[in-house]
Amino acid sequence: MSLMSGLFNYWAVAALLLIGLGIVVWQGNLIKKLVGLSIFQTAVFIFYISVGKVAGGTAPILDDSYSQYSNPLPHVLILTAIVVGIATTALALALVIRIKASYGSVEESDINGQDK
Amino acid sequence: MFSHLAILQVVVPLMGAPACFMLGKARLTWLMSLLISVVTCAISIGLLLQVYQQGPISYALGGWQAPWGIEYRIDIINAYMLLIVSAMGALVLLAAKDTALTDIDEHRRPLFYVAYLLCLAGLLGIAATGDAFNVFVFLEISSLSMYCLIALNKDRRALWAAFRYLIVGTIGATFILIGIGYLYMMTGTLNMQDLAQRLPAIADNNAVISAYAFIMVGVGLKLALFPLHYWLPNAYTHAPNLVTAFLAATATKVAVYLVIRFNFFVFSPSWADFIQLGNHVLLILGSVAVLWASWIAIRQTDIKRLLAYSSVAQIGYMVMGIGMSSLLSLQASLLHLFNHALMKGGLFLVLATIALRLGSVDTSQLRGLAQRMPLTFWAFVIGGLSLIGMPATAGFISKWYLVQAAIEQQSWLLVAVVLAGSALAAIYVWKVVEVFWFTDKNTASNTRHLSQPQVPVTMSIAMWLLIIANVYFGIDTRLPVTLSEMGAQLLSGAS
Amino acid sequence: MLIVVACFIARSKDLMVTVILFSIYGLLCASFFMLMDAVDVAFTEAAVGAGISPLLMLITLASVGRFQQAGRYPVVLIGFIGAVLGGLLVWATLGMPMFGDALAPVHQHVAPRYIEESGVEVGVPNIVTSVLASYRAFDTLGEVVVIFTAGVGVLSLLGGGSYQKRFLIDRIIDREEHKILRVVSKILIPPILLFALYVQFHGDYGPGGGFQAGVIFAAGVVLYTLFFGLKVVQQVISEMSVRVLAALGVLLYGCVGLVSLLKGHNYLDYYALAANPKTGQHLGILVIELGVGITVASVMILFFYTFARNFGGRGAVS
């Protein structure tokens, strides 16, 4: 397998990580930041799942007709991480609603301006 | 039952939180959570004795042996951390009687205790586990509950501080997750001890080196290590007063523990050059943090923010100790963990007491405080002296060890940094004391006694316990010195 | 494909578009996980990434407005950090084993035992379930507590305060033209709830389990709310009972561990639960998955209740 196709997934992950982080840092809108944060997290999920894949393997549910399975452990870890991700997102959105109610804005520059 | 202390340490507060959630009434919840935290503290003492006498405990969760299952591994350093965190947790909670939470809306107070217990359980979980991914899970429990503890303050700036901390904290946690993923990919295991055995063979691999970098940056964000500290002053300043006391005494300490654990146990300077490089970077950043953050602290007018910057500086000392990576310097770091928890916990409790009596900690309100609340004033002075590192206080001991470590390495520059840091600390502590001491004519005349909620007795007890501990452990140093020495030996034995 | 959508998200100015694109992104992720043999993860990502998370964002948008301003930031510094990070990420990959390589260390050390022995040791065909609920059950307990923490957090931020007599969301829904939708949803909702139960108890054999079931169940309730209004639903499932259930789920999970302790085994050791090891494992997994399902469903419904109550930017915010 060539270097290109052998590592392509990981490079895609790197690109997604950067896009996600870029949105978080670059955008002033709080909801946009959260979307970016989610993309950033999902990129890591994709990385873990890619690591777990075995060429020619199948889903890790025991069955007599298969002998080669993909690695189940990354799947377990990522299930946990997805749950953590949605928990964080929900909490952050609740914060956004409160911020909107008390500052009247969800733009970073507005909020910073108000408390100076 | 004694063989299960390791897991009970974390499970008791973890299960206590949902139980408290169902109670509903603030007073009842406080009593219940106080009981739980005291039990947790008792467990940590039992655990420490056990480890002290019999050596490290390994506890296989679910009966599955590591590395297949999750392992709790308590060596002397874990036990020491668990003791610090749970003791501080219990003391601050003692102070946090429901009537003391004036900066939290009344209908939100029961939830404060639930979040507090969850945070405590999360921090204890990080300190107890021997599994890298489990660290991430408990890190998130503690972080999420921390965000909502900060946001509980009535002040709207708390919301914004919590949001920013959430963004930074999540990025940090995700970095750690990437690092753990790389390690898992290269070794096939998540157990820390297993990792430590398998990593040296592939020490030169790019992915392993990157994993180290990601984990260090991620933990650095949580640790508020200079220059990644921007969230901390805001979070500490705007959080409810008692939350600040709790966070300052525990959260950053656990992050320091993680640095130590990854730097000397999972990775180790003995088998890889890049970790030595990492230690040099830590040493430089720590020194800069000490000087720069102390300097910024001097220029603050808000006392909470001043102490927050002082925390960034004190974290610098601990990181310096790690960076020097000698037996003595590691011991200094571990000692400073303990002592800084005492002094910052104590000082923030003093501030909380003042805030409760006066309704605010605005500088204008605080003038002439020494006459109105003389005892509280002296409590602050003692805590402040410990922060500076005066002899006969706890702060002196850890700085003494740190200076010795620097002298041992013939590094006079580092000695100068420590001394300069103390001098700067003396200036900012003096600044506060000056405000307290001298009466401003305008405010002295309108000394208001109108809204003066009684300070709960438990709060005063907690405050004085911590302040007296600052003096006690400055004179009778056997407990922390023995433990930190054992810890440092363990670390350098591993490296 | 994912990258293209992510780029569009970065560029879009309308937040509504952003959220919808984000939902598509979630769905694409789920398909990718499917391709990678991670069926359980795909299931969850489809429910969370394409379902719950955009839904919550949409409700938030409704109260904060959908258009954003352009941001201006120090491009050079960020670009530099981005370049370093990107460089590190790509550089790291050079040391990695090739994608799909069955001989990579990750497939050698710990994982084979799960694949080879779990059928005997745990006796559940779905290896993901046996790792999740038995070998690494403590992580899963942590995960449930994380969800519970988020529930506590959201409640502490948005809960309590003044209750509106009539929820704004109800006012929107009350229009007559939704009649057809109501009939359709009446047909749809019972199968959704049934499906949730199926997923809950079938997790041992196929993809699924407590978390997915909880999300699906919550989705059923949410759908019901969208067509019949918050008030009606809260008469059936009150907020108080959801709160209690959220805590009970965690306690149920934790108590399984305590039972093992009392029987002299280690925490969460299911062999303690029954004389026959396989029965013990089955029982343990069943109960803890139930705990997971209850907590997840309750917290998700709780999210929805509290968010929907703040619909329109007014409400319980004090």
Kindly give the residue spans of alpha helices, DSSP state H, lying in chain C.
2-11, 15-35, 39-47, 53-64, 75-93, 111-121, 127-130, 137-158, 168-173, 179-202, 210-228, 230-236, 239-262, 277-309
Q: Model confidence at C1, in pLDDT bands (50, 70, 90)?
A: low
Residues C28 and C144 in one domain: no
For A:57-86, CB contacts with B below 8 A are: 73-74, 77, 80-81, 84
Closest to A9 measured CA to CA, from A40, A56, A46? A46
Whether C315 shows a pLDDT value over 50: the answer reads no
Token pair for C140: 């899963």
What whole-number percentage of chain A has pLDDT above 70? 84
| CA angle A100–A104–A106, rounded 5-degree value | 55
- For the stretch B289-293, contacts whose Cβ atoms lie closer than 8 Å and that sit 24 or more positions apart, written own/partner, are B289/B225, B289/B226, B289/B229, B289/B313, B289/B315, B289/B316, B289/B319, B290/B316, B290/B317, B290/B320, B290/B417, B290/B418, B290/B420, B290/B421, B291/B417, B291/B420, B291/B421, B291/B424, B292/B226, B293/B226, B293/B229
Q: Is residue C74, in this structure, part of any structural domain at all?
A: no
What is the residue-averaged pLDDT of chain C? 74
Domain that holds residue C199: 125-318
Q: Is B70 on the interface with C (CB under 8 A)?
A: yes
Q: Is A21 on the interface with C (CB under 8 A)?
A: yes
Total domains, chain C: 2
Show Cβ contacts of residue B113 under 8 Å, excluding neighbours closer than 6 positions.
B20, B26, B29, B30, B32, B33, B93, B96
Give the residue carrying structure tokens 């910057």. B309
Closest to B250 measured CA to CA, from B87, B394, B385, B33? B87
User: What pLDDT does B5 receive?
Assistant: 82
The answer to whether the CB atoms of C266 and B7 lie below 8 A apart is yes
Q: Model confidence at C166, in pLDDT bands (50, 70, 90)?
A: very low
Residues C161 and C24 in one domain: no
For residues B214 and B268, what is the distance between their CA atoms, to the nearest angstrom? 16
Q: Is B164 on the interface with C (CB under 8 A)?
A: no
Of B144, B160, B181, the CB nearest to A91: B144
Closest to A107 measured CA to CA, from A91, A96, A95? A96
Residue of A nearest to C107 (CA): A71
User: What pLDDT does B120 receive?
Assistant: 92
Q: Is B64 on the interface with C (CB under 8 A)?
A: yes
Q: Is residue C214, in this structure, part of any structural domain at all?
A: yes
Q: Model confidence at A11, in pLDDT bands (50, 70, 90)?
A: confident
Sequence letter at residue B350: V
The answer to whether the CB atoms of B64 and C91 lie below 8 A apart is no
Residues C264 and C162 in one domain: yes
User: What pLDDT does B141 receive?
Assistant: 92
Burial B114-149 (b: 16+ CB within 10 A, else e): bbbbbbbbbbbbbbbbbbbbbbbbbbbbbbbbbbbb
More confident residue, C32 or C4: C32
Burial B387-404 (b: 16+ CB within 10 A, else e): bbbbeebbbbbbbbbbbb
Among C64, C114, C138, C302, most B C-beta atoms within 10 A, so best to mutate, is C138
Mean pLDDT on A77-91: 89
**Is residue B161 within 8 Å of residue B97, measured between CB atoms?**
no
| Positions in chain B whose pLDDT score sits under 70 | 1-2, 360, 362-364, 439-453, 494-495
Closest to B85 measured CA to CA, from B129, B127, B39, B25? B127
- Chain B hits for A21, CB-CB cut-off 8 Å, are 171
Burial B297-327 (b: 16+ CB within 10 A, else e): bbebeebbbbbbbbbbbbbbbbbbbbbbbbb
Omega of the bond leading into B227 within 30 degrees of 0 (cis): yes
Q: Three-state SS across chain B?
A: CHHHHHHHHHHHHHHHHHHHHCCCCHHHHHHHHHHHHHHHHHHHHHHHHHHHHHCCEEEEHHHCCCCCCCEEEECHHHHHHHHHHHHHHHHHHHHCCHHHCCCECHHHHHHHHHHHHHHHHHHHHHHHECEHHHHHHHHHHHHHHHHHHHHCECCHHHHHHHHHHHHHHHHHHHHHHHHHHHHHHHHCCCEHHHHHHHHHHHCCCHHHHHHHHHHHHHHHHHHCCCCCCCHHHHHHHHCCHHHHHHHHHHHHHHHHHHHHHHHHHHCCCCCCHHHHHHHHHHHHHHHHHHHHHHHHHHCCCCHHHHHHHHHHHHHHHHHHHHHHCCHHHHHHHHHHHHHHHHHHHHHHHHHHHHHHHHCCCCHHHHCCHHHHCHHHHHHHHHHHHHHHCCCCCHHHHHHHHHHHHHHHCCCHHHHHHHHHHHHHHHHHHHHHHHHHHCCCHHHHHCCCCCCCCCCCHHHHHHHHHHHHHHHHHHHCCHHHHHHHHHHHHHHHHHC
Total domains, chain B: 1
Closest to B133 measured CA to CA, from C105, A79, C93, C266? A79
C82 DSSP 8-state letter = H
Tens digit of each residue's pLDDT (9 = 90 or more) over C107-124: 777 777 777 777 777 777
User: What pLDDT does C313 receive?
Assistant: 41
Domain that holds residue B304: 2-494
Show Cβ contacts of residue B456 under 8 Å, excluding neighbours closer than 6 positions.
B95, B97, B99, B100
User: What pLDDT does C162 receive?
Assistant: 45
User: What pLDDT does C317 receive?
Assistant: 36
CA distance to A93, B396, C23, per residue, from B484 (Å): 43, 15, 51
Among A31, A40, A75, A95, most B C-beta atoms within 10 A, so best to mutate, is A95
pTM: 0.89
Whether C164 shows a pLDDT value over 50: the answer reads no
Q: Is residue C154, in this structure, part of any structural domain at all?
A: yes
Residues C287 and C142 in one domain: yes
Of B82-91, C122-131, C254-263, the poorest mean pLDDT is in C122-131
| CA angle B116–B118–B119, rounded 5-degree value | 65
More confident residue, C200 or B14: B14
- Chain C hits for B151, CB-CB cut-off 8 Å, are 153, 156-157
Give the residue carrying structure tokens 């996600």. A20
Burial degree of C81 (CB within 10 A; 0-12, 13-18, 19+): middle
Residues C48 and C147 in one domain: no
A29 DSSP 8-state letter = B
* Domain edge (last residue) among C21, C45, C67: C67
User: What pLDDT does C45 receive?
Assistant: 80
User: What pLDDT does B177 receive?
Assistant: 92
Residue of C nearest to A81 (CA): C143
Q: Is residue C164, in this structure, part of any structural domain at all?
A: yes
User: What pLDDT does B142 receive?
Assistant: 92
C105 DSSP 8-state letter = G
Whether A3 shows a pLDDT value over 70: the answer reads no
Q: Is B151 on the interface with C (CB under 8 A)?
A: yes
Q: Is residue C291, in this structure, part of any structural domain at all?
A: yes
User: What pLDDT does B379 receive?
Assistant: 86
Residues C48 and C131 in one domain: no
For residues C45 and C287, what is the distance between their CA atoms, to the nearest angstrom? 24
The answer to whether the CB atoms of C107 and B145 lie below 8 A apart is no
Q: Model confidence at C67, in pLDDT bands (50, 70, 90)?
A: low
Residues C59 and C139 in one domain: no
User: What pLDDT does B101 receive?
Assistant: 76
Residues C19 and C135 in one domain: no
The alpha carbon of residue B182 is apart from the nearest alpha carbon of chain C, in Å, by: 9
Among C77, C94, C98, C109, most B C-beta atoms within 10 A, so best to mutate, is C109
Mean pLDDT on C132-143: 83
Q: Is B190 on the interface with C (CB under 8 A)?
A: yes
CA distance to B16, B356, C224, C238, per residue, from B88 (Å): 17, 20, 47, 38
Show Cβ contacts of residue B178 under 8 Å, excluding neighbours closer than 6 positions.
A17, A44, A47, B211, B214, B218
For residues A85 and A15, what is the distance between their CA atoms, to the nearest angstrom? 20
User: What pLDDT does B136 receive?
Assistant: 92
Q: Is A115 on the interface with B (CB under 8 A)?
A: yes
The answer to whether the CB atoms of B70 and C243 lie below 8 A apart is no
Backbone angles phi, psi at B189, to 5 degrees: -140, 160
What whole-number percentage of chain B has pLDDT above 70? 95
Residues C51 and C186 in one domain: no
Q: Is residue C137, in this structure, part of any structural domain at all?
A: yes
User: What pLDDT does A6 receive?
Assistant: 64
Q: Is residue C298, in this structure, part of any structural domain at all?
A: yes
Q: Model confidence at C50, in pLDDT bands (50, 70, 90)?
A: confident
**Is residue A78 within 8 Å of residue A41, measured between CB atoms?**
no
**Is residue B186 within 8 Å of residue B202, measured between CB atoms?**
yes
- Chain A hits for B177, CB-CB cut-off 8 Å, are 44, 81
Q: Is B205 on the interface with C (CB under 8 A)?
A: yes
- Chain A hits for B178, CB-CB cut-off 8 Å, are 17, 44, 47
Omega of the bond leading into B67 within 30 degrees of 0 (cis): yes
For residues C73 and A26, what is the distance between their CA atoms, to the nearest angstrom? 6
